[in-house]
A and B are shown apart, each in its own frame.
Chain A
Amino acid sequence: MLEVQNLSMRFGGLLAVDGVSLDVQEREIVSIIGPNGAGKTTVFNCLSGFYKPTGGKVIFEGKEIQGIPDYKISRLGMVRTFQHVRLFTQMTVVENLLVAQHRHLNTNMIAGLLGTPNYKEREQKALDRAAYWLERVGLLDLANRDAGNLAYGQQRRLEIARCMVTEPKLLMLDEPAAGLNPAETKELNQLIVSLKEDYNVSVVLIEHDMSLVMDISDRINVINQGKPLASGTPEEIRHNDDVIKAYLGEA
């Protein structure tokens, strides 16, 4: 469903991403790994429309999407999380989920001011969907707390829930396990697998936690210094000499 061909991104003299290609099929978890500064997040920013890639193609469901604005990409069904959690911290947990459903709501101002039945119905549906996902990630009891007051692990889960209420086809997770303890990482592991199994969402994952990556990925792409280094199943990557060299240094 997502195909990236020869993507490159140049900042002045720095070629941050150089000729990266990858593809994601329906219901597949594809990971991008690589040492720090390899350009993984830059790839994400190009895919989600925050950067306009300087070269290459991004094709989502048969449509070229490179260079179109970020908010339009997310409306197509490609939604991302961030390396550093980005919540609407002064809004409540449930409000965070309502904002995300903007697209599914009746945004006609007159209808809202008058409170038409159609408007109310959609608003209720949005609330129900929010409740469903809050329960799914175990935050239902905290629905009316300020998002900024949640514990770190809860904020991570809320961010994923916030993506899921938009009913995406492809979810891009940027280091979702960063800062989580082993128990939380395990929960996250189960959650991501369930997103794929139960909700038919494809996942692109950037992650440093190798046990998580090896455990849930269907395929893995390795990037080093902006260039693609290797790609394959977890088993292939584990035994790939180039990858071992890049990660562990020359033996």
Chain B
Amino acid sequence: MAANNIRHALFCAIVTLIISFPILGLSLEAKGVNITLSGAKTSTYVAIVLAAVAVFVFQIFRDTFMGALGKLPNLNPLAGREPMEQNKRVKLESWLLTGIVVFALFWPFLVSRGSVDLATLVLIYIMLALGLNVVVGLAGLLDLGYVAFYAVGAYTFALLSQYTGISFWMALPIGALLAGLTGMILGFPVLRLRGDYLAIVTLGFGEIIRILLNNWTTLTGGPNGIGGIPEPTLFGMEFGRRVKEEGNTSFHETFGIAYSGEHKVIFLYLIALVLAVITALIIRRFMRMPVGRAWEALREDEIAARSLGLSRTAVKLSAFTIGAFFAGFAGTVFASKQGFISPESFVFLESAIILAIVVLGGMGSQLGVILAAIAVTILPELAREFSEYRMLIFGAAMVLMMVWRPQGLLPVRRVQITLNKQG
């Protein structure tokens, strides 16, 4: 036992050394045209050795440490309590949610422009994650190319505005519908696939769309992207200092207030908020409808679902289409927010992050997904000082999360249904 422990601890310490030495102890420096490898300061080496020793000591006494941890008083004050009554809980939750949404409506008037901008991005991610939640969380179809539909939405608006001068409000449904259509078309060839195979094919589709956008320079401008995408208008009122389009009026002149750049940011935020709430409500509705139950049934057991008369084609395609539809929604808002889009915004990492949000939040759980979207988007901003290690921290958080809470932040709770006793 003891010998085994020492061996294990030694191994862990050596691994620590092997990993941290090249990363921290060596640095590449550009001198003229050459790159030279130089060592770090002595203090860094000392720190590396100390870290290895720390790992060694921890591993040797791991059982003792972990045992002590287990004896700590339970940190969760709610742990011992009886779960709340069903209808009471539902009421409380709905009040709480309404409260949060109302607060979110007034919040932008209180904080800085940067926070509102970030919050808009959070809302876009919430829309994306809620959409992907349908595909991955409910229907159980692992989609690694989800960002493609986001791109379709964004590029639809960008291209239409460039070539036909369409407004945001016209582009919103068109972008969403086109994204949904793309989802359906991409859904057809992958109907028979499940699990890993599906993941690989969808990954490919995501890349195809991105590379197409990148290389079709005559239409999409390639890597240069498309700029000058118009901002949304409020009943024909523009938010810029000067009116760009004939026939429109400007917001600040109509209401006789001084121009402020913040109006536009807040307006975009409010649009994103309304759309995110609509997305959440519609998908929540879907989840309780026959189609939502069919998605879950297909995830649970495809053979049983088919034996009960569910058509695999219809169920899978509906999940893909609806998921893609909301990605298109989000894409249009994104294009309008940025005013400029390029294929760079739609790389695989985006898909991975959205997927991470869904998994972290708890597959299928809307509230969990919303929480995770907020956490995943805001934490990197808060941790700006460590921006070099952002991805490292992100990865570590994912690993810890999956080890300790694989079901996600807020796992799904089934809807309870009261039945009337029959004769």
Closest beta carbon of chain A to B15's beta carbon, Å: 38
Q: Answer whether residue B89 sits at the interface, using C-beta atoms and an 8 A cutoff.
A: no
Closest beta carbon of chain A to B401's beta carbon, Å: 20
Bitwise, A95-134 to B at CB < 8 A (1) or not (0) is 1001110110111010011000000000000011011101
Q: Answer whether residue A75 sits at the interface, using C-beta atoms and an 8 A cutoff.
A: yes
Closest beta carbon of chain B to A249's beta carbon, Å: 35
Closest beta carbon of chain B to A162's beta carbon, Å: 7
Which chain A residue lies CB-closest to B308? A100
> Chain A residues near B296 (CB, 8 Å)?
88, 90-91, 95, 99
> Chain A residues near B293 (CB, 8 Å)?
91, 95, 98-99, 102
Which chain A residue lies CB-closest to B419? A131
Q: Answer whether residue A166 sits at the interface, using C-beta atoms and an 8 A cutoff.
A: yes
Which chain B residue lies CB-closest to A133? B422
State whether A107 touches B290 (Cβ < 8 A).
Answer: yes
Which of B301, B318, B414 makes the CB contact (< 8 A) with A95?
A: B414
Which chain B residues (302-338) contact chain A, with CB distance < 8 Å?
303-312, 318
> Chain A residues near B68 (CB, 8 Å)?
none
Bitwise, B404-423 to A at CB < 8 A (1) or not (0) is 00000000001111011111
Q: Answer whether residue A86 sits at the interface, using C-beta atoms and an 8 A cutoff.
A: yes
Interface size of A in residues (CB-CB distance below 8 Å): 45
Q: Answer whether residue A80 sits at the interface, using C-beta atoms and an 8 A cutoff.
A: yes
State whether B414 touches A99 (Cβ < 8 A).
Answer: no
State whether B305 touches A99 (Cβ < 8 A).
Answer: yes
CA distance A106 to B289 in the complex (A): 9
CA distance A90 to B307 in the complex (A): 18
Q: Answer whether residue A191 sits at the interface, using C-beta atoms and an 8 A cutoff.
A: no
> Chain A residues near B310 (CB, 8 Å)?
71, 99, 102
Closest beta carbon of chain A to B363's beta carbon, Å: 10
Q: Answer whether residue A140 sits at the interface, using C-beta atoms and an 8 A cutoff.
A: yes
Q: Answer whether residue A22 sits at the interface, using C-beta atoms and an 8 A cutoff.
A: no
Which chain B residue lies CB-closest to A48? B307
State whether B301 touches A71 (Cβ < 8 A).
Answer: no
Closest beta carbon of chain A to B280's beta carbon, Å: 13
Q: Answer whether residue B124 sits at the interface, using C-beta atoms and an 8 A cutoff.
A: no
> Chain A residues near B416 (CB, 8 Å)?
92, 144
Which chain B residue lies CB-closest to A77? B309
Q: Answer whether residue B294 sits at the interface, using C-beta atoms and an 8 A cutoff.
A: yes
Closest beta carbon of chain B to A120's beta carbon, Å: 11
> Chain B residues near A87 (CB, 8 Å)?
300-301, 304
State whether B422 touches A88 (Cβ < 8 A).
Answer: no
Q: Answer whether residue B282 sits at the interface, using C-beta atoms and an 8 A cutoff.
A: yes
> Chain B residues near A130 (CB, 8 Å)?
419
Which chain B residues (357-377) contact chain A, with CB distance < 8 Å?
none
> Chain B residues near A173 (CB, 8 Å)?
none
State whether B306 touches A71 (Cβ < 8 A).
Answer: yes
CA distance A157 to B167 in the complex (A): 58
Q: Answer whether residue B192 sits at the interface, using C-beta atoms and an 8 A cutoff.
A: no
Q: Residue among A82, A102, A127, A134 with the most chain B CB within 10 A?
A: A102
State whether A82 touches B309 (Cβ < 8 A).
Answer: no
Closest beta carbon of chain B to A180's beta carbon, Å: 20
Q: Residue among B282, B308, B415, B423 with the most chain A CB within 10 A?
A: B308
CA distance A143 to B421 in the complex (A): 11
Q: Answer whether residue A74 sits at the interface, using C-beta atoms and an 8 A cutoff.
A: yes
Instruction: List the 5 shortest-distance A-B pairs measured between CB atoms, nearest first.
Output: A88-B300, A131-B419, A86-B304, A132-B422, A112-B289
18 CB < 8 A contacts A-B:
A69-B311, A71-B311, A71-B312, A79-B307, A82-B303, A82-B304, A87-B300, A88-B296, A90-B296, A90-B300, A91-B297, A98-B290, A100-B309, A106-B290, A107-B291, A143-B417, A143-B419, A146-B414
Residues of B within 8 A of A (CB): 282, 285-286, 289-291, 293-294, 296-297, 300-301, 303-312, 318, 414-417, 419-423
